[in-house]
């Protein structure tokens, strides 16, 4: 078994006791099952830039800022220092996203630690205790497919409430754990507020879920969960406990009604403020206009 230098460093430093076995190898990283002092977990080892086939596409990284203006300028410049900083930021982005989603209670692995190019997280297991299989390998009865489709759509909605769009969601980066699907792989996750591509990426994520589960429940093809949740999100009406219907037209009507109610409440507040100002100045109240 070939051990990446980055993972060997974690062994030398005592963060990892032993490597049990490789788990998978992807375009951007290799994953190993390892033992730490806290038990068995997964170690995601990022490949070095020259060994990686995955490109940090602009539609993913748009809007990402570290808060350090010097570092951000270097990244934008494309200098050697900037390239090194971009690489570090790409790895940090996944751990930052996972911390945010862990805090929001989203069904993802619990982040343990980010070292030098190695991310340690909980190992997602199936009913047999082995690493959980990809959703892509599973077959479902019609009712099961509808159930898990809705559960995952709801997780995407809750992620959006936390300001995150996965950006590359499909049946290949969802694991079917003992108690249901768990979403993984977040280096390309985008900020819903700062990235102009967020809506398109969200709709693609939801469409991928629908495409997969409609193999088992064809009626799901008629659902419009992505359009519905983005509309509610735009109108600040999407909440973590929102019960989505999958009907975009119905959501449009509900949002329109909410806009009217908000305008009425705003008009009432403005009228009350004007009345308060007039009273403070000793002026008589304005006459009530009858319709």
Per residue in 224-240, pLDDT tens?
999 999 999 998 999 99
Question: Region 191-202: what's the mean pLDDT?
Answer: 93
Domain count, the chain: 1
Task: Identify the helix (H) or strand (E) that includes residue 121.
Answer: strand 118-122
What pLDDT is stored for residue 84 in this prediction?
A: 57
d(CA 188, CA 169): 10
Per-residue burial over 171-180, b = 16 or more CB atoms within 10 Å of its CB, e = otherwise: bbbbbbbeee
Report if residue 255 sits inside a domain: no
Report which DSSP code applies to 96: H
Q: 């060997």: which residue's tokens?
A: 8
Q: How confident is residue 58, by pLDDT bands cut at 50, 70 and 90?
A: low
Number of DSSP helices (H) and strands (E) in the chain, helices first: 8, 9
Those residues with Cβ within 8 angstroms of residue 36's Cβ, 6 or more apart along the chain or in another chain: 15, 16, 17, 112, 120
Domain that holds residue 152: 12-234
| Residue range 265-276: mean pLDDT, rounded | 69
Instruction: Calculate ∠ Cα 111-120-166, nearest 5°.
Output: 55
Percent of the chain's residues with pLDDT above 90: 56
Q: Would residue 276 count as lying in a domain?
A: no
190: domain CATH number? 1.10.510.10
Sign of CA dihedral 173, 177, 180, 182: negative
Nearest residue to 161 via CA among 261, 230, 250: 230
pTM: 0.77
Q: Hey, which residues does 34 pair with through a beta bridge?
A: 19, 41
- 92-151 pLDDT, tens digit per residue, is 889 999 999 999 999 999 999 888 889 999 999 998 899 999 999 999 999 999 999 999
Residue 176 lies in a domain: yes
Average pLDDT value for the chain: 84
DSSP-derived letter for residue 263 is: H
For residue 264, tell me if it sits in a domain.
no
pLDDT at 272: 73
For residue 51, being part of any structural domain is answered with yes
Q: Can you tell me the distance from the alpha carbon of 120 to that of 110, in angstroms, rounded to the nearest whole number? A: 9
Instruction: Give the whole-angstrom CA distance, residue 118 versus residue 89.
Output: 13
pLDDT higher than 60, residue 87: yes
pLDDT at residue 54 in the model: 47
Residue 30 pLDDT: 92
Burial annotation 85-108 (CB, 10 A radius, 16+ → b, else e): bbbebbbebbbbbbebbeeeebbb
Residue 209 has pLDDT above 90, yes or no: yes
Round to whole Å and give the CA distance between 228 and 203: 10
Asked if the structure places residue 275 within a domain, the reply is no
Asked whether residue 43 carries a pLDDT value surpassing 80, the answer given is yes
Q: Does residue 147 lie in a domain region?
A: yes
Residue 178 within any structural domain of the chain: yes
**Alpha helix positions (H), the chain:** 5-12, 58-61, 69-77, 80-103, 142-161, 198-213, 225-234, 248-280
Q: Return the higher-pLDDT residue of 291 and 119.
A: 119
What's the token pair of residue 110? 């619990």
């Amino acid at each position: 078994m070939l051990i990446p230098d980055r993972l060997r460093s974690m062994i030398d430093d005592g963060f990892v006791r032993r490597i049990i076995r490789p788990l998978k190898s992807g375009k951007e990283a290799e994953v190993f099952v390892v033992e730490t002092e806290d038990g068995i977990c997964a170690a995601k080892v990022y490949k070095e830039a020259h060994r990686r086939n995955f490109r940090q596409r602009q539609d993913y990284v748009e809007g990402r800022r570290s808060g350090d203006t010097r570092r951000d300028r270097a990244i934008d410049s494309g200098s050697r220092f900037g390239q090194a900083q971009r690489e570090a930021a790409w790895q940090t982005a996944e751990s930052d996203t996972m911390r945010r989603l862990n805090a929001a209670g989203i069904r993802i692995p619990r982040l343990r630690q980010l070292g030098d190019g190695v991310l340690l997280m909980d190992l997602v297991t199936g009913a047999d205790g082995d690493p959980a299989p990809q959703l892509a390998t599973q077959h479902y009865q019609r009712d099961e497919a509808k159930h898990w489709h809705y559960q995952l759509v709801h997780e995407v909605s809750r992620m959006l409430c936390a300001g995150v769009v996965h950006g590359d969601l499909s049946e290949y980066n969802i694991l079917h754990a003992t108690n249901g699907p768990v979403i993984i792989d977040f280096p390309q996750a985008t900020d819903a507020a700062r990235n102009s591509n967020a809506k398109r990426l969200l709709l693609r994520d939801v469409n991928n879920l629908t495409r997969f589960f409609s193999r088992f429940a064809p009626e799901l093809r008629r659902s419009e969960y992505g359009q519905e949740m983005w509309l509610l999100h735009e109108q600040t009406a999407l909440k973590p406990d929102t019960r989505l219907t999958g009907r975009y037209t119905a959501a449009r009507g509900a949002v329109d009604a909410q806009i009217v109610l908000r305008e009425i409440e705003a008009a009432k507040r403005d009228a009350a403020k004007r009345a308060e100002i007039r009273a403070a100045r000793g002026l008589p109240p304005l006459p009530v206009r009858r319709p």
